Structure formats: structure tokens, C-alpha cells
Structure 1
């Protein structure tokens, strides 16, 4: 696959295309709103952290990312879409050149009394002059569409990298939760054995036996559910890699705790850095060119036609230069009456341009919304994690102490169950919060228009 145009090359090409345009129908004030100087978020959460990706990009993840970029079916489809649009550029570019066709006819002509052979060979040349810039508008529309498709392809690659990284650590999260469920199930079994033994010795009540037995079977049920979830998460990762979902991939990763904050830049940088916003802008410009093209369909067209040919009763004499004849014509065609069809088509495309303006603004503000939300969440998750970590320590100690006090007859078994539940919830929350921090950090980098491809490539170079 050919590589997409680099940003500088795209900018130069766009400048050339813009220069070729005779007019623009875009409401510039509408599509270029006033942006704030900074993000609406507490500065304390914007601590610069350049190495956060190195913390999560272990060797196995880097290998899986490389595989996904080469084998993911959805990404391959988009790459082929880029190639399709490249061919479309060639098609519209051909309109600037003359078209040359040849013909060779042979047959018999005659009436009831006589007949004779007839053979004709000819070359026909046709060329339309781009006097109004109509062909240029069509070419500009196709090239801008190519830029949009290329930008969408770049965004899709970044999104795939983000999705694979999230899915990878989702599997790691499920693995840690599975280990926690297994330990809780084993612990519930041990507790049940202890309580049942005490009951047989007359030390515990039948109610305690029923409660511990119920707890044990509940944990077995939760364990079975988590095993199923673990397999499901593995299959989701395998599909992102373009593989059959066998559920056999082994993920070897711990959940790292990322430092707080990320360098966020300023809102105006987002418009320049985010491929999806660039794609939306190119689509808007392409529709603008389409309006100009449709408008110029109402203007006269000037074309030149030429032909050279030869005819003879004998096929062998066709190529005799003495029999050749040529002609050259200039033609002007203009629509006169079409029941308002061309005017309506122009108005239709202008209305579509207004729709495209609103779609661009919607895409732009949605991108800002995503950044603001992820920035806020990044700081919030760090606070939640630290608080939950302390809660986990307290709940674990309370779980141990409550069982000891129960064996000493100081508390009821319901107190033990309550302490165990609190401990389990805290431990589960710590694991899930670490995964949420990773997911949100990846989403934040993607939302800010950071190139995950270049970051991953750098990590691969460092690993090598």
C-alpha cells in the first residue's frame, strides 16, 4: 500500500487546489469559531508525563500492535479504500487530456439488384477546454476526497492501536480478577470447612453453616462467570488482531499504575493534529468544490473534435494514404431548457454544503468535549485510586480481624460476611481502577490528536 501524503505535502497540495478554485461557498465565520486559549481543566492535573506509554508498552503488546496493523480486516479495507480513491484521482485527472479512439468497420451494402463491400477505418479526437474551471473543480473535489480518506485511514490506525492496547489490558484485568475470584472461592471453602467442623463439635450454630455454605457456592458461581468473561476478553483481542477467536492467546502482563497527568497542549493544536478533524475539514472543502462544479454545469462547454479516416471497397486499400480524409470541428454546447433541473441540483449541493458545515462543527466540538472529559477523568481516577487503595488495606485487615473475633465468640458470622464483602469490593475496585486509568490515558492521548503510531514505533525502536 502506498503511504498517505505527509502533512507538508498535503498542505502544499491543498494550497494549489485552493488557488485553482475560482470561488468558495463556505461560510468561513461559521466553520472557524473562536477557541479558548486553554482547556477548561484544573492546571494541577496537567503535569507533563512524556514516558507514560513506555510503562504500558511491553514487548508482547508491541508485537501484537504490529500484527494488528498488518492483519486487521477493517484496517485493510480502509487501506484499499485509499487506493480506490487514488484511482478516482487518476480518472478525473484524465479529463484534462484529449481522448483518442479508433474504429474499424467492414460490411456489405446494397439493394435487391446489387451489393458491394465497404470498409472504413478512423481515428477520433475529442478535447474539452476548461474555460470555466469546471474540470478543475471536479479534480479538486476528488483530490480533497482522497485527503479525507487518507486522514480517516490515519485516524483508524491510531484507533486500532488504542483498541488493541485497551483490549490487551482488559485481558490482564480479567486475569487478575480471575485470580482474585479463585482465592476467594478457596478461602470460602476453607471457612466452610472450619465452620462445619465447629458445628459438628457443637461450637457453631447451624445458621453459620448455612451462611458459609451459601457464601462458598456464590463464590463458585462468580468464579465460573469470571472464567467466561476472561475467555470473552481474549477472543475480543484476537479479533482485533485479525485472528480467529480461539480464546487461546496468553497475555503476560501486570496492570501498571501510571503517573498523574499528561501534556495537553492547547485547543488550537487539536485542529491541526487530529486526523479525524482534518478528514472532516477536507470533506467540507470537497463539498465546496462540488457546489462549484454543479454551478458550472449550467455554463456553456467548448470542445474541439477531430477525426481522420479512410474508406474503400477493398479492405487492403484502407491503409493507402491517398484514400485518407480528415476533419476538425469546434463545438459550443449550452443548456437552454431543462425544467429547472440544473438550478435545483446547484441548490441541492449548496444545502448539502450547509449540512457539511454543521457536521464539521459537530465533529469539532465533540472532539473538544472528549478532551475535556478525559482530562477531568484522568485527575479524578488518580484520586479514586489512592482512596480505594487505602480502603482496600483497611478492608483486608478488617476481614482478617472479624474472622478471628468470630472464632473467639466476639462477633456473629454476619459480621464476618460483611467484612469479606467489603474486602472483595475494595480489591476488585483497585484492579478495575488501574485498568480505567490505563484506558483513559490511552483515550486522552488519542483525543488530543497524538500519533499513537509514531509513539509505538519509537517504543519498538527503544526495545530493539
Structure 2
């Protein structure tokens, strides 16, 4: 505890002791002693002052530039959905924003937080209620009726801003959930895009397998004719049949993968997983290099980091409230109404009754409950601070990983494209040499298999490049609308429509 803290506590202790000596005078009147005891409780509550921790949130220090560098790092990665050149995908994202059950749940949580913020704010305001009563009582020989109508007033004076702290915490929680909602929208858009490209790639892989099955089946027919004529060896027939069966098995597996990918996409869209979503025939080209910005900008751009920071502030506000719960509370209560034995005389002036009371309460003995609640709030604030730092570090890791993958996948795609060209040439030469009787059939089969694997690997590499690009957009906190104004307008429209839902 600092020197100033000890000085303040020493001053309060001296004041409390001096007041105790004054009220111990036996010649004081009972009423004065009662008031003195109440004031002593007030001073005792204030003397329970405890030093609160410093309120400065420390984030991990980022480098000046990303360590995994790519070109053109200026700007912000917004509007990435339009850059992907997939018109159908934009329609699907819009459907998912309206129909996805998980996003609807997040919207409902946000609506609940908004209601809770209004509830917490209402506790600072006076309350007024109206009531009416009618009753009859008696002893058998003497019955009596009683009628009354009253207005009841209540108000807790927020002397220490305890209620304001609770309202502030609830409002910050609402803002944090709003950031969660924005993050959920972004994650859903990215999830739909990744599922869409996975499905398109799965469809292309099925198409490649179907082409190879068709080629192998046609070649087997030719070989069998040659075998019947004694021109083809039995070994070639067995190899051709084995390769055809293996490729048909692979086609079946890839068709299963396609169905799983499409159903996963339909679930994100909030539909029944019927495996009926129409797909594009080809993956779109990779957009040009995206702007990554500076590491320090990430703290303000990512919704999850902003939500974690807001939750730290909320925990600080709740710690303030728990600390001030140990201070005295003052409330005003009053009533105004009329009471009469006769209902028709209830509105006459002589039936008027009213009351106004002021109350002061100070916790004295509670078994350490309030102190433990404050310690609990302090521990929760420390947890939120640790989670904030963890969120920031994970965000930096996601960006660095995606930037590194961006560079590596670019090289992989370039080499895969070269592999496709070379294996296609090798397949053509193997076919020509087999027809000329210069190589065995197994050489032709190996060339065909290698060419097919090269095309399949290249298609997979293109999809991985798109997937990583979306991961990078997500890691950088970029939104799929073209501007910040579009993001705010879309969120406002969705929340407005939710409020109008019964």
C-alpha cells in the first residue's frame, strides 16, 4: 500500500476513535446516542477503505512490421468478399446472415444484454407505484370495512456511484456483445466462403476422377479386344482392370467428400442438409495481394480484441461496485394516499394519509462476505486482463501464420502448375511409345496416374490458397463489406429487425 493510502487510512482511524470517545459519555440523551451510533457506522464503513489496483491495461508490445512480410502492406482488408469474384457466394453469405441459427442466437444474446443494461440503469432512478386495497374485519358483533388508495415512492441515493458502476458494467457488457456479434458475422461469412470453395474443389476432384475412370474404361475395352486377338499380354489386362477398380473406389470416396462438403455448407446457410446446393464449376482466381496494415492497428481492427478489452473494463466497474458495497447506503421512501371506512368518503380531504422516511444502512458484521465478494471481483478482473493478453497474442500468431502460409502456398501453386504441364507431356509421350511398342503398359499407367495426381494436387493447392487468404482476411480483422459504414449499417439493420420480432 502506498504512503498516501496509509495516510488516508490513519486519518479515518483517528476520526472513528475520537467519535467513539465522544459517544461514550453516559450523560448523552438516548436519541443523541442513537444518532451518534448511526454516524459511527457511517464512519466505520468509510474506514474500510482498501486500495484498488491500477487501471492500465497492458497489451503485448507488437513489432513495427509483420515478421512474415508480403508486398503492399498499406490500407485495410475490407470488402474481401467482392474481391473473391464469386457472385453466387455473396448471395449465400446474405442467406447465412439471415438464417444461420448460431448467429440468431448471438443476436438474441445481444438483445438480452441491451435489456440488462436498461435494467441496471433503471435502478438509479426513483420508483413510483400505485395500489388500492379493500378489506373487512370484525369480531362478530362489530364488523368494520377499510378502503385505501396509495402512491408509494422509493429512491436509493447513489452517494458513492455504486448503482452507476453497475449500470456502467452492464453497458460495457452490451458493447462487448456487440463486438462479439460483429465478429460472429465476420466468422460466418468466412465460414460460408471456405465451405463454398471446399465444395467447389470437391466437385472438381470428382470430375477428375470421373474423367480418369472413363479413360481407363475405354482403354480396358481396347486392351481386351487386343487380348482376344492375341496382341496384348494378360499382365496388361490385369493391370488395367486393377487400376480401373482402384480409380472407381477413389471416385466413390470423393463423391462422399463432396456430399459432406455440400451438407456442411447447407448447415451454415441454415438449411436442411439435403446435398442439393448447386456449385460453380471452377475455383475463382486468387485476388491480388491484400493490405495487411501494421501490427499496432490490429488491436483496434479485430472485434474479438475489442470485446476482450471491453470485458476488462466491465470487470473493473464491477470491482468498483463490490468495493463500494462496503460503504453506507441511504434511501428515501414515502407514501401518499387516502384511507377510509366508507368507500364514498375515500376521496375526501380528511382521509388523507402520507409518510416520508429516510434510511441509512451500513454493513457492520457479515462474516467477511463483502470483503470476499470484493476479492472475487478483483480475481475476475485479473482473469479478464489475462484473457485479453492471450487474445492479442493469438491474434498476432494467426496473422503471422497466415502471412507465412501466403508466401509458401504461392510457391507451392507455382510448382504444382509446372508439375501438371510436365506430367501431361510425359503422359502423351508414354502413350505414343506404348503404341509404338517401345515401353510396357505399366509405364503408360504410371504416367497416367502421375498426371492425374498432378492435376488433383494443383486443384487442391488452389483451394488451399483461397482458404488461407480467407484466414488472413479473418486474422487481420477485415470485414466482407466494402466500407466501415456498410458494416455499421448492416449491423444496425439486422438488430433493428430483431427488435421488431415478437
What TM-score, normalized by structure 1, do the two folds share?
A: 0.88
In structure 1, the residue matched to 2:210 is 182
- Point out the structure with max Rg over C-alpha: 2
Aligned to 2:122: 94
- Compared with structure 1, are the counterparts of its residues 393 and 236 closer, same or farther at alpha carbon in structure 2 (3 Å cutoff)? same
Alpha-carbon contact 1:446-1:452 (below 8 Å) kept: no
Greater CA deviation, 126-135 or 406-415? Answer: 406-415
| DSSP 3-state at the match of 1:57 | coil
Summarize the Cα distance change of 1:25–1:383 in structure 2 as closer, same or farther, 3 Å threshold. Answer: farther
Q: Structure 1, residues 12-48: CA drift from partner, whole Å, max 9, x if none?
A: xxxxxxxxxxx99565566323221111113458598
How many positions carry a matched residue from both structures?
Answer: 438
Determine which of 351, 360, 385 is the counterpart of 2:379: 351
Of 156, 163, 170, which residue of structure 1 is paired with 2:191? 163
Structure 2 Cα separation of the partners of residues 409 and 241 of structure 1: 56
Which range moved further: 158-167 or 395-404? 395-404
SS class of match (1:254)? coil
Q: Which runs of 4+ in 1 moved over 6 A?
A: 47-52
Alignment correspondent of 2:64: 37
CA distance in 2, matches of 1:194, 1:407: 12
Partner of 2:284: 256
How many angstroms apart in 1 are the aligned matches of 2:75 and 2:338? 79
**Quick check: 1:26–1:353 contact (8 Å CA) kept in 2?**
no
Q: Secondary structure at the match of 1:207?
A: helix
Query: Secondary structure at the residue paired with 1:452?
Result: coil
Q: How do residues 385-424 of structure 1 correspond to structure 2 at under 5 angstroms?
A: 385-424=413-452
List aligned pairs for 1:248-287, cutoff 5 A. Answer: 248-259=276-287, 261-287=289-315
Q: CA deviation at 1:231?
A: 2.3
Query: How is 1:65-104 mapped onto 2 (pairs within 5 angstroms)?
Result: 65-104=93-132
Distance in 2, matches of 1:27 and 1:431, equals 55
Aligned pairs for 1:352-391 (under 5 A) are 352-391=380-419
Instruction: Kindly report the root-mean-square deviation, in angstroms, between the aligned alpha carbons of the 2 structures.
Output: 2.5
Q: Is the 8 A contact 1:45 1:379 kept in 2?
A: no
Provide the secondary structure at the position in 2 that maps to 1:339: coil
Deviation of 1:299 after TM superposition, in Å, equals 1.2
The equivalent residue for 1:443 is 471
Give deviations 1:138-163, integer Å, cap 9, x for gaps. 01100000000100111111111111
Question: For residues 359 and 52 of structure 1, what CA distance do their matches in structure 2 show?
Answer: 29
Q: TM-score, normalised by structure 2?
A: 0.82
Unaligned runs of 5+ in 1: 1-22, 459-464
Q: Does 1:141 align with 2:186?
A: no
- Specify the alignment match of 1:121 in structure 2: 149
Equivalent pair of 2:335/2:356 in contact (CA under 8 Å): yes
Say which SS state the counterpart of residue 137 (structure 1) adopts.
helix
CA distance in 2, matches of 1:450, 1:429: 29
Give the drift of 1:317: 1.8
Cα distance per residue 1:295-318 (max 9 Å; x no partner) = 111111011111112221112222
CA 1:363–1:302 in 2, change beyond 3 Å: closer, same or farther? same
**Is the partner of 1:390 in helix, strand or coil?**
helix
Note the alpha carbon deviations across 1:410-429, whole angstroms, 9 max, x for none. Answer: 33333223222221221111
- Aligned counterparts of 2:237 and 2:52: Cα–Cα separation in 1: 79
Partner of 2:331: 303
